[in-house]
Amino acid sequence: MSTVRVRFAPSPTGGLHLGGVRTVLYNYLFARQHGGQFILRIEDTDQTRFVPGAEQYIQDCLAWCGLIPDESPAHGGNYGPYRQSERKAIYLPYAQQLVAAGQAYYAFDTPEELEAKRKAVPNFQYSHATRMEMNNSLRLGEAVTKELLEKNTPHVIRIKMPENETVTFTDMIRGEVSFNASQSDDKVLLKADQMPTYHLAVVVDDFLMKITHAFRGEEWLPSAPVHVLLWKYLFGLDKMPQWAHLPLILKPDGNGKLSKRDGDRLGFPVFAMNWTDPKTGEQTKGFKEMGFLPAAFTNLLAMLGWNDGTEQELFSLEELVQKFSMERVHKGGAKFDFEKAKWYNHEWIKRLGVEGMRQVAASQLQEHGIAAEADYTNKVIALVKDRCTLLTDFWQESKFFFETPAQYDLPSVQPKWNDKKQQFFVEIIRQFELMQFWNATDLEKEFKEMMAVHELKPGDVLLPLRVMLVGGKSGPAVFDIAAVLGKEETIARIKAMMKLLQLQK
C-alpha cells in the first residue's frame, strides 16, 4: 500500500471560504491519520481571475488553523512546482497524446462563435450531437487541421466524450456513482493560451504528485466522469485516486450554497481571515478577527457534515485526527448556523487557561492605550474569560478594570437612594480603609456585617455598589471585582459616585 497523499487545490481568486477550510481540514485529518502527506497546490491556470495576494492569504489561513501542508509553493517538496502556472509546459504533451489516440481533438471555434452558437441554440452543448457542425479537427479533416495548426490558428483541445459509455466510480462518501458519458459535453482540456483547464490539470497533477485520495466539494461531481475518463486514457484506472465528494455548506436561511454575500447580509464571517480585495479595496471579515479560536473553528467545521457516532461534540484537532473517518461524512449539505458556531467558540474559550487568553487580552488593552501589569491582567482574565463568547468580547467585559467608568447607570440607583444608604456607604468607606487584608471573602464579610448594623438588605446596597465599581449592572461577582480593583481604587470609585448622587439631589 502506497503512502497516503492528499491535496487541497484552491485557485487564488479571493478569500478562503468556510467550505474551503473544511475541505482542507478533512484532507489534513485524513493525511495525519494515515501517516501520509498533505499537499497544497495552487490552481492558478486562469490568468484573468488571478488575484495578487490571494495565495499568501490562503497560506496564512492554513497557518492560523494549524493545518500546515507538508508540501506547497512555500514549503517546497519533491513533486513541485506546486503552482500550476509554473507547470504550464507539462500539460501539452498529455493533451497531444489524447489527440493522437483519438480521445481528444483540436477545436478552432472562436469564443465569439461559441457565444453566438449558444445564443442561437438554446441549451447548446459541444458534444457528440453537435461536434460535427463545428470547426474542429474531427470535421475539418487531417489536412485542413494541419494547415490551420501550422498557421498558428488559435485553438483549444477538447476531450471527445464517448457516445455510449457508462462511467462508474466509487465515491468514498456516496458509494457507486454512474454517469452516461455522452451527457457531458466535450470539455476544453487545453486552452488557447496553452494553459490546461482544471479538468486536465487535476488529473495530470494528481498523477504526477502521486495523490492517492482526492477530496473536493460536491459541485465537482458532475464533471467527475470527465476526470475518470482522463485517468483511464492517460494513466490507467488502477492509478486513479479514491474520490470523495464532500457535501456543500449551505446558507442558514433559505437554500443554496453559502456565499460571502450571505455573511454580509446576516452579519457573520464566511472567510477564515479578514480579506481585502486588492482591486475594489472591499474588506470582508474573517473568523479570526471576529474573535474565534482556531481550535473552535476547526472543531465546528469538522462537525458540519461529520460526527463520530457518539454524543461528543467538542474535539481537539488531535482527537479529530484519531477519530475522523470519511465513511461517516454525510451526503447531504449542512446549513451553517452562526449561533452554534459561537457556542463552540465559547466552549473553547472556557477550556482555555488564563495563559491562552494573555495574548488576546494584551493586544486588546494595547488597542485601547492601556498599560497594565501582567499580574493584574491575569487576575482580570481569570474573572472575565468565561464570560466571553468571542475573544473580542474581552475588552467590553473587562474595561472597567482598567479605566474608571465613563458613565454610571444612575437611574437604577438614584430613585431609591436615601440618607440611610448614604450613611452606610460613608461608614463602609471608613471600614474598608481600615481593612488589613483585601480579598473578596473578607470584603464580603465586612460588607454584610455593616449591612446588618444598618438594618439594610443586600438588595438595597449591593446593586449600588456594583454600579459604583462597574458603571452598569453587569459583570462578575461584586466582591471579586473590588478585590481585583484594590483598596484605593474601590474606595475612590465609591466616593466618586456618591458625589454624583449628592449633586443630583
Which CB, 277 or 313, lies closer to RNA? Answer: 313
Q: Please say whether the beta carbons of 388 and 351 come within 8 A.
A: no
For position 477 contacting RNA by CB under 7 A, the verdict is: yes
- To which H or E segment does residue 156 belong? strand 156-159
Cβ atoms of residues 36 and 6 within 8 Å: yes
Residue closer to RNA (CB basis): 50 or 64: 50
Distance in Å, CB of 167 to RNA, minimum: 10
Rounded Cα gap, residues 469 and 492, in angstroms: 9
Binds RNA (CB under 7 A): choice among 28, 126, 401, 417 = 126
CB atoms within 10 A of CB 457: 8
Counting runs of H as helices and runs of E as strands, what totals does the chain give? 20, 13
According to the binding rule CB under 7 A, does residue 250 interact with RNA? yes
Among 476, 482, 485, 490, binds RNA (CB under 7 A): 476
Q: By C-beta, is 420 or 503 nearer to RNA?
A: 420
Does 197 sit near RNA (CB under 7 A)?
yes
Neighbours of 485 (CB within 10 A): 22
Range 256-315, binding RNA (CB under 7 A):
256-257, 303-305, 307, 309, 311, 313
The residue (of 221 and 496) whose beta carbon lies closer to RNA is 221
Q: Is 151 in the site for RNA (CB under 7 A)?
A: no
Closer residue to RNA (CB): 223 or 392: 223
User: Binding to RNA by residue 419, rule CB under 7 A?
Assistant: no
- Under rule CB under 7 A, residue 193 binds RNA: yes
For RNA, which is the closer residue by CB, 429 or 463?
463
Residues 13-32 interacting with RNA (rule: CB under 7 A): none
The whole-angstrom separation of Cα 400 and Cα 9 is 47
Nearer to RNA, 7 or 213 (CB): 7
Integer angstrom CA distances of residue 374 from 42, 106, 291, 362, 452: 43, 70, 21, 9, 38
Answer for which of 466, 468, 497, 498 binds RNA (CB under 7 A) is 466
The residue count for binding RNA (CB under 7 A) is 82
- Choose, by CB under 7 A, the member of 34, 210, 260, 340 that binds RNA: 340
Residue range at the interface with RNA (CB under 7 A); choices 97-105, 362-370, 432-440, 452-460: 452-460
CA atoms within 13 A on the CB side of 248: 12
* 198 lines the binding site for RNA (CB under 7 A): yes
Coil, strand, or helix at residue 340? helix
Query: What gap in Å lies between CA 246 and CA 312, rounded to an integer?
Result: 22
Is 499 known to be catalytic? no
Min separation Cβ 30 and RNA, Å: 18
Q: Which of the residues 191, 260, 335, 379 is marked catalytic?
A: 260
Give the dihedral of Cα atoms 129, 133, 139, 144; nearest 10 deg: -160
Q: How many CB atoms lie within 10 A of CB 54?
A: 22
- The least CB distance from residue 28 to RNA, in Å, is 19
How far from chain centre, in Å, is Cα 79?
27
Q: Binding to RNA by residue 156, rule CB under 7 A? A: yes
3-state secondary structure of 142: helix
Residues 6+ apart with CB under 8 A from 278: 51, 52, 53
Is position 195 an interface residue for RNA (rule: CB under 7 A)?
A: yes
Contacts of 57 (CB under 8 A, 6+ apart): 12, 15, 16, 273, 275
Is 178 one of the binding residues for RNA (CB under 7 A)? yes
Q: Does 447 bind RNA (CB under 7 A)?
A: no
Per CB under 7 A, contacts with RNA among 348-377 are: 350
Looking up cell 519533491, which residue turns up? Answer: 78
Minimum gap (Å) between residue 401 Cβ and RNA: 14
Please list every residue from 40 through 99 that binds RNA, using CB under 7 A.
Answer: 43, 45-46, 48-49
Stretch that binds RNA, among 5-13, 32-40, 371-379, 425-433 (CB under 7 A): 5-13
d(CA 470, CA 477): 11
Of 52, 76, 102, 111, the one binding RNA by CB under 7 A: 111
Q: How far is the CB of 211 from RNA (least distance, A)?
A: 15
Residue 392 binds RNA, judged by CB under 7 A: no
Residue 370 is placed in which grid cell?
Answer: 492601556
Cell of 503: 449633586
CB 159, CB 226: distance < 8 Å = yes
**Cα dihedral across residues 296, 18, 254, 303: positive or negative:** negative
Residue with cell 459616585: 497
Q: How far is the CB of 115 from RNA (least distance, A)?
A: 8
Site membership for RNA, residue 462 (CB under 7 A): yes
Q: Which region among 62-70, 235-243, 289-297, 326-334 touches RNA (by CB under 7 A)? A: 326-334
Applying CB under 7 A, among 75, 128, 174, 454 the residue interacting with RNA is 174
- Least Å distance, CB 57 to RNA, is 15
What type of residue is 72?
S
- What is the distance between the alpha carbons of residues 137 and 443, in angstroms, rounded to a whole number? 92
218 near RNA, rule: CB under 7 A: yes
Helix (H) or strand (E) run with residue 358 in it: helix 354-367
Q: Which of 133, 147, 163, 337 binds RNA (CB under 7 A)?
A: 337
According to the binding rule CB under 7 A, does residue 457 interact with RNA? yes
3-state DSSP assignment of residue 56: helix
Catalytic (active-site) positions: 260
